[in-house]
Amino acid sequence: MAPRLIFLRAALLVIGVLAGFSCLAAANVPRANETLLTLIPAVDQVHPALPDRFAHASADAPFRLRCNWARSPLGVQQRHPRLTWMPPQRDILQGQANYQIQVAQSREAILQGHPLVWDSGKVPASANFLPQYQGPAFEPFTHYYWRVRIWGRSGWRSQWSPAASWMTGPLHTADWQGEWITYHPQISNPFYSDGFSAYYGLPRPAELAGLLEPVSFKNADWIMPKDVTKLPSFDAPAGFYVFSQTFKLPQGMTFSHCTLIIAGDDACKVAINRHVITPTFSAHWATPAVLDIARYLQGGVNKISVLLQNQGSQANPSGLIAKLYMRGNNHFHRRILTDANWAAIPSAAGAKWTSGAPLQDKAAVLTPWGGGPWGRTGPRMMRPKWRQNKPCPIFRKVFHAPTGMNHAYLYIACPGFWRVLINGRKVGNGELESTLYDYSKTVPFRAFDVTSLLRKGHRNVVSIALGNGWFNVMERDAWNWNKALWRAWPRVRLNLLMRTADGQATWLATDKTWQAGAGPRLADGVYNGEVYDASLKVAGWNNPQRGFANYPHAVVVNAPAGRVTAQLMPSCRVMQRVAPLSILQPKPHIFVVKFPQNMSGWMTLTARGRPGVPVVMRYGERTHADGMVDQSTIKGLVFTGPFQTDTYLPASGKTFTYHPQFTYNGFQYVQINGLSSRKDIIHAEADFIYTPFRRVGTFWSASPMLNAIADCTNRAYCSNFVGRPTDCPTREKNGWAGDTWLAAVQGMFTYSNELGYAKWLNDFRDNQTANGSLAVIIPTSNGWGQGDAVDWDTAYEFVAWYQYLYQGDGQILRSHYGGIKKYFLYTAAHAKHWISPDSCGVGEWATASRSRPPVSFTSTCIFYRDAVLLALIAQILGKNTDAKAYRADAAAIKAAFNAKFFRGNGLYSNGDQTALCMPLYYGLVPKNRQAAVVNQLVANIHQHDNHLDVGILGAKCLFRVLGRYRCTKLAYRMASQTTYPSYGNWIMHGATTLYENWSLRPGSMNHIMFGDVLGWMYNDLVGIRPDWHAPGFRTVLISPHPVRALPWARAAHDSPYGRIKSGWEW
């Protein structure tokens, strides 16, 4: 029985059809043979349903007018903002042929049609570029009103749309009033002198008790098996290595102290007398393990066994260092150090590494502790204290609002976190203002209408609280954010414009007359958390009737180096409030709150505390066996202060409500210390915080597993867009370029995030060096990760292309063409005979097995696709000479790739799934070889019991390639697996977001990098595809791949031109 295909399942006159719309079905047939299908109205609903944004659609006039994708934005700074609208629903199948835009400086003028600032006249609609304002230069702080009408291809002309508006802000530095200000509070507080401030309100580590000698690797050596390490680089082949040492102990020994400290590059497992005491790879070189091993020792011969894992796909630094310190009865005292007396051998995947059989080969000493690339690494039984030694400042200013005021607008430029109140009421509805930029290039400002917050004709007060944010990261971490070139003490510039009905303007601006002080927030850090002392809250600070004559004043300070630029992207918000599943008490006076999902944000706690007794909230994704929150797999790359820990010091025994304001966490569990009993917890809820993009897509099917995977993907995507794309909301919070571009398609299908991606593309422009190189994380600090990583840096080109493809925004391509071209030329300059070397990429990442092709293979695949895509972009922009040159480059790369990596018999490189699906997906396989390569890929999948064995680069390609070559049944089978390695294995073990690794431990439990599986569901399974000839879904390609094992599948997407629905059922 053939499937019944269901397209555009909606009332067509309301939502389905768009300007220039055509619905094409191909079902695995090349585009040249696609034929127009009859549009079939239906009443079936896709679950979960999208909001009905078309309920008030006009049949005769354009509606939903937007400027820069925003409704009536303030602070517009661009010379040519984009103007978009939804077309009217009457006669829509004929499409939009022409449009006319009018702009005026008053609502009355635009409704009357004169006087106008600009009239576009009747303009042909472009297939590739969104309309833009092309009138005279803007005036600052000015409202502009606009309307539009269109002509269909049949000649029908619409009515004028309702009027919409935008307002400019400060356009130049000279438009800003006042000064940048700061303040350095000087207060005396025990928190800043406490050497244990990283454990503020928490028990100090038990290991500190009775410690008889400093815990360090002094006198130990870094070792490896002989003849595997290349000096002076300390590089060793990726793989596993086994080490052992035997020693004798007297019978009847009891220990007062028995500590093994150990570190490996990249990580290691430890066994004592065949007892594995670290079941996961841990003890990273930067975060050594401290282990009490007394219970595993015995009288007579003992054996330490270590399995070292050197990760990666190519040689890189690796080594092991360890020290065992023992003190026992009868004055026993002994140290065992790594040195040339240890045994060491390479091992095949660590087979039998705990065996009692002695190893025969002695280790080679690489360097004493303190040498090599590792430096003086050491264990951190006690985490170093908070590095902040004074609170961030607060400011206030009392002023009089004019009696005749009818509008007031606030403009604030601040590179760190900030919060503004007027008369005690919050300005805006955002959180975590503002997000990360390269502040040496760009400093964001926001604009707000604050008319309703002011009291006309009366005294008012505006107050500002500053936080460190990403501008002043104090934590020492693996990415050197504390060494960022822009780093400085927080500062701010604020302007308040008050206008009367007759146009008179009154300004309030930051300057040295503002009062300043120390707020109750003792410390805040994006990784550490926040410490808030309620007893330090200044009573009356937000009361305009209160005076603080003895308070100091703000200090005028230099502006940050970057250009002050309007932030068009909306601020993060609390998008969902989540009730807990349970509140348990694993130990006396310690409570653990469990929520039903992993997420980004914080917990809002209402409780009764005790004056001066810290209430500590530690956030994590999992718990230990004893029920306590486990941060061990996420905190290791932040070296100072606590990790994801918020502390509130109650001012009294009364009920309080608290959540942090200047940090956020990734979590599903929150451990609470400092309360007397369960009854003290009155209310707890999680606030899921992310950038407030609209939901525009949904996928649903008869498979609960696919639906769960889609939900996990969406939750991971939201958790990893808190102001910018990140890899995880816990351990790093970094904008890894690879993670972002690999998951961008499903993100654009499901969410309207044009402004978020536009901001991130501008971050690439800020990051790019004169020679074209880019960093692997965007933005980055002080050049961290800068270099040639083709597979990650390609995000600049891919994300710009996806913006064009899914939003129809050719201006994105035009704006970034120069930077993308520079990046490609840099990449080409580093290639050798058109092959990207192993040094030019990160390589396949997070595979299920150790199998992965060399970096040169995966990077050259991406290098080829870069050339093909750049030629296409040049063609779209009318740069035909460039397009011809890049097509020639692509042909040369393809020839060189096949000459180097094709092994015959349908195999490329090492023949694993990534090595077979990537060249197929990116078009590198000649047509006469494709069948053989597909057969090898299918055979490999069958050899893995129909499971995937890819990392993130292969996961982008694998499912899509199977669909392209009529193997969707196999793709669906893989996607539905519930055993390791699979998405379903995560789900079966309780995942509510996507994980970092196919295994369950260690690593982050909220990563988006495997998220393109949802893009496959949209693009292939239900078959909604954009057409680059008419981007933004002006033309919709419908090409579903029904699977007999799946009774039905459906999806919907609100495109820039209307709602698209596609589905099938048997």
- Edge-first strand listing for the sheet containing 515-518: 425-426, 417-422, 459-467, 393-400, 515-518
Buried b or exposed e, range 377-401, using 16+ CB within 10 angstroms: bbbbbbbebbbbeebbbbbbbbeeb
Taking a C-beta distance cutoff of 8 angstroms, is the pair 811, 822 a contact? no
Q: For residue 719, what is the enclosing H or E element?
A: helix 704-719
Backbone dihedral angles phi then psi of residue 899, each to the nearest 5 degrees: -65, -35
Q: How many CA atoms lie within 13 A of 693 on its CB side?
A: 30
Residue 158, classified by CB atoms within 10 Å of its CB into exposed (0-12), middle (13-18) or buried (19+), is buried
Residue type, 680: D
Taking a C-beta distance cutoff of 8 angstroms, is the pair 832, 860 a contact? no
pLDDT given for residue 39 in this prediction: 28
The angle that helices 754-767 and 795-807 make with each other, rounded to 10 degrees, is: 150
Taking a C-beta distance cutoff of 8 angstroms, is the pair 795, 778 a contact? yes
Q: Are residues 86 and 20 in the same domain?
A: no
Nearest to 891 by CA among 911, 918, 867: 867
pLDDT given for residue 15 in this prediction: 28
d(CA 1010, CA 474): 31
Which CATH number fits the domain that encloses residue 79? 2.60.40.10
Nearest to 435 by CA among 799, 765, 722: 722
Taking a C-beta distance cutoff of 8 angstroms, is the pair 107, 78 a contact? no
Taking a C-beta distance cutoff of 8 angstroms, is the pair 812, 796 a contact? no
pLDDT given for residue 216 in this prediction: 74
pLDDT given for residue 351 in this prediction: 64
Among 352, 374, 396, where does a domain finish?
374
Taking a C-beta distance cutoff of 8 angstroms, is the pair 920, 927 a contact? no
pLDDT given for residue 851 in this prediction: 81
Q: How far is CA 921 from the centre of its chain?
A: 25
Q: Are residues 24 and 92 in the same domain?
A: no
Weakly modelled stretches of the chain, pLDDT under 50:
8-46, 207-214
Return all residues near 495 (Cβ < 8 A) that are at least 6 apart. Answer: 170, 176, 177, 178, 410, 411, 412, 507, 508, 509, 510
Q: How far is CA 16 from the centre of its chain?
A: 33
CA angle, residues 475, 776, 720, in degrees to nearest 5 = 65
Q: Are residues 100 and 6 in the same domain?
A: no
d(CA 520, CA 533): 5
Q: For residue 209, what is the enclosing H or E element?
A: none
Residue 518, classified by CB atoms within 10 Å of its CB into exposed (0-12), middle (13-18) or buried (19+), is buried
Q: Are residues 542 and 603 in the same domain?
A: no
Tokens found for residue 102: 């009018």
> Pseudo-torsion of CA 127, 132, 134, 135, nearest 10°?
140
Torsional class of 1023: left (φ above 0), alpha (ψ -120 to 50), beta (otherwise): left
pLDDT given for residue 3 in this prediction: 61
Among 174, 198, 233, where does a domain finish?
174
Q: Are residues 244 and 341 in the same domain?
A: yes
In DSSP terms, which residues pair with 577 in a beta bridge? Answer: 687
d(CA 418, CA 1064): 49
CA angle, residues 253, 258, 261, in degrees to nearest 5 = 150
pLDDT given for residue 52 in this prediction: 64
Nearest to 567 by CA among 445, 452, 688: 445
Question: How many structural domains comprise the chain?
Answer: 6
Nearest to 259 by CA among 241, 277, 279: 277
Nearest to 49 by CA among 1020, 1065, 1050: 1050
Q: Are residues 754 and 816 in the same domain?
A: yes
d(CA 169, CA 174): 12
Taking a C-beta distance cutoff of 8 angstroms, is the pair 1020, 1046 a contact? no
Residue 379 inside a domain? The answer is no
Report the Cα–Cα distance between both ends of the chain, in Å, rounded. Answer: 7
d(CA 905, CA 889): 27
- The total number of residues written for the chain in this structure: 1066
What DSSP state is assigned to residue 15? Answer: I
d(CA 727, CA 355): 38
Q: How far is CA 219 from the centre of its chain?
A: 42
Residue 697 inside a domain? The answer is no
CA angle, residues 1029, 1035, 1039, in degrees to nearest 5 = 100
Q: How far is CA 199 from the centre of its chain?
A: 28
- What's the sign of the alpha-carbon dihedral 927, 824, 126, 1051? positive
Which CATH number fits the domain that encloses residue 470? 2.60.120.260
Taking a C-beta distance cutoff of 8 angstroms, is the pair 363, 224 a contact? yes
Taking a C-beta distance cutoff of 8 angstroms, is the pair 936, 916 a contact? yes
Among 336, 355, 374, where does a domain finish?
374
pLDDT given for residue 215 in this prediction: 59
* Residue range of the domain that includes 589: 574-690
Q: Are residues 425 and 541 in the same domain?
A: yes
pLDDT given for residue 254 in this prediction: 81
Tokens found for residue 904: 């015959």
Residue 1061 inside a domain? The answer is yes
Taking a C-beta distance cutoff of 8 angstroms, is the pair 527, 477 a contact? yes
Q: Are residues 666 and 724 in the same domain?
A: no
What DSSP state is assigned to residue 848? Answer: S
Q: Are residues 12 and 68 in the same domain?
A: no
pLDDT given for residue 5 in this prediction: 59
Residue 507 inside a domain? The answer is yes
The residue assigned the tokens 């530095």 is: 173
Tokens found for residue 771: 């020679």
d(CA 277, CA 271): 6
3-state secondary structure of 608: strand
> What is the DSSP track for 576-606?
EEE--SEEEEEETTEEEEEEEEEEEEEEEEE
Q: Are residues 884 and 738 in the same domain?
A: yes
Name the maximum alpha-carbon separation found in the chain: 103
Residue 244 inside a domain? The answer is yes
Which CATH number fits the domain that encloses residue 731? 1.50.10.10
> What is the percentage of the chain residues whose pLDDT exceeds 70?
92
Residue type, 689: I
Taking a C-beta distance cutoff of 8 angstroms, is the pair 189, 92 a contact? no
> What is the DSSP track for 361-390?
SBEEEEEETT-GGG-S----SSPPPP---S
Residue 723 inside a domain? The answer is yes
Outline where 902-1041 has alpha helix (H). 913-921, 930-943, 952-964, 968-975, 983-988, 1012-1016
Q: Are residues 629 and 709 in the same domain?
A: no
Residue 1005 inside a domain? The answer is yes
Taking a C-beta distance cutoff of 8 angstroms, is the pair 673, 585 a contact? no
Q: Are residues 403 and 325 in the same domain?
A: no
Write out 769-830 in H/E/C secondary structure: CCCCCEECECCCCCCCCEECCHHHHCHHHHHHHHHHHHHCCHHHHHHHHHHHHHHHHHHHHH
List Cα–Cα distances, 742 to 640, 791, 994, 1012, 1014, in angstroms: 32, 10, 14, 6, 11
For the segment 610-631, what is each residue's pLDDT rounded down to a tens digit?
Answer: 998 999 999 999 999 899 999 9
List Cα–Cα distances, 773 to 285, 578, 757, 789, 799, in angstroms: 29, 43, 20, 9, 17
Residue 205 inside a domain? The answer is no
- How many CB atoms are located within 10 Å of the residue 777 CB? 23
Nearest to 954 by CA among 926, 1007, 992, 913: 913
